[in-house]
Amino acid sequence: MPNAYISGTGMYVPDEVVTNDDLRTKYGIDTTHEWVVQRTGIAERRFAPDGTAPSDLAVPATKQALERAGLKAHDLDMILFATLSPDMHFPGSGVFLQRKLGLLDGDSPRFVPAMDIRNQCSGFLYGLATAASMVQSGGCKHVLVVGAECHSAALDLTTRGRTVSSLFGDAAGVAIVSATDEDRGVRGWWLGADGRHAEALCMRIWDMSKRPFVPLDHGKEGPGTIQPEILWPYMEGKVVFKNAVERMCQSIMQACWEKGIELGDVDLFAFHQANMRINQYVANTMGIPESKLLHNIERLGNTTAATIPTLLAEAEETGKLKRGMKVMMVAFGAGFTWGAALVDW
C-alpha cells in the first residue's frame, strides 16, 4: 500500500486589505481596532472584488501547488473542494475549478471526479483524510484538496453583525496529496462531529424545510424577502469557544495516544485560524510552545476551510516547514465538526 504525502502546497489571497479601522471608517461599524484585536487577535483581512467566486481564488493557489509538486493539472486524478461559501447553491465549486484549470480543454480532456465538502472550518481536514484514503487505496495518484472562501459576500457589515463580520476574510489554500513508496506522509487522521450543536454556528438561508425556502412577499409571483436572522451567519460565541477548546485538546491527545508519540515529538502545529484566543488557550492548556505554532489570523482573519492549507503554504514558502518535520493539524468548526491529522513532511 503506498503512502500518501503532501507533494505541493499553494495559496492565494485577494489584493484588498481591510483593516479593523476600515471596518469603522469604510463600513460604518461601531468598533475599534483594539476591540477586535483583544477578542480575536485579528488586525486585518482580505476581501475579494465583486464578481469573484471561491473557485476563482483556487485557480492561482492550485497553479502554485502544481508547480511546487512538479505536476501539471492533467496529472490530477480527483478534486476535493472544501468550502462554506460555494460559487452557487449547486452545482459544487469543484466542477467550476475543474473547468477553470483547463482540464476539459483540448483533444484529451480529463473528466476527473470533483467533490465538494461542506464541513466548514474542518473541511480541509475532512478532505485531507479522504484524499489520503483514496491514495493509500491505490484509487488515485494525485488528489487536489482545496479550501477556498469568499466570505465577504455574505457578511453583515454593520454594527449589528460586527461580532461575526469582524472575524472573516477571503482566501484559498490547497494541498496536493500524492502517492509515494517513501516512508513519509499522512500518518493518521481523527475526525468527529456533534450534531447536538448544529444551530450554535449556522447560516439558515438555505433552509429547505421551508416552502419555499426563501419567503415570497406576494404569493408565487412576488419577490422574496429574507430576514437578517436568516440571511447572515449566526454564532453563539461562548458555546463555540468552550467546545472548540475541548475538542481540539481531545483531538491532539487522541492523535498522540494512538500513534505513541509525545507532544514534544511534533515540530509544528497548524491550528485552524478561527480565533487567536482559542488557539492560545489550547496551546497553553496542552503546554505547546509558541515557537511551534503557525499563525496567520492576524493578517488574514478566519478563512474557514482555507486556514490550514494557507498556513502550510506560507510555512513552506518561508522555510519554516521543512522535509522530515512532524506536523499536526487541528480544526474545529460548525456542525460541530472537528479533526486532527498527523503528517511526516
**Residues identified as active-site:** 121, 272, 302
The tally of CA atoms less than 13 A away on the side-chain side of residue 322 is 4
Q: Are 213 and 207 in contact (CB under 8 A)?
A: yes
CA separation for the pair 325, 138 (Å, rounded): 25
> Across 31-110, where does the E strand assignment appear?
44-47, 78-82
**3-class secondary structure, 244:** helix
CA separation for the pair 331, 71 (Å, rounded): 28
| CA proximity to 20, closest of 304, 307, 301, 272 | 301
Q: Are 21 and 45 in contact (CB under 8 A)?
A: no
114-117 and 16-19 strand pairing:
unpaired
Burial (Cβ within 10 Å: 0-12, 13-18, ≥19) of residue 217: exposed
CA separation for the pair 77, 4 (Å, rounded): 14
CA separation for the pair 196, 66 (Å, rounded): 40
CA separation for the pair 146, 92 (Å, rounded): 12
> Across the chain, where does the E strand assignment appear?
3-12, 16-19, 44-47, 78-82, 114-117, 142-149, 171-180, 185-193, 201-202, 234-235, 268-271, 326-333, 337-344
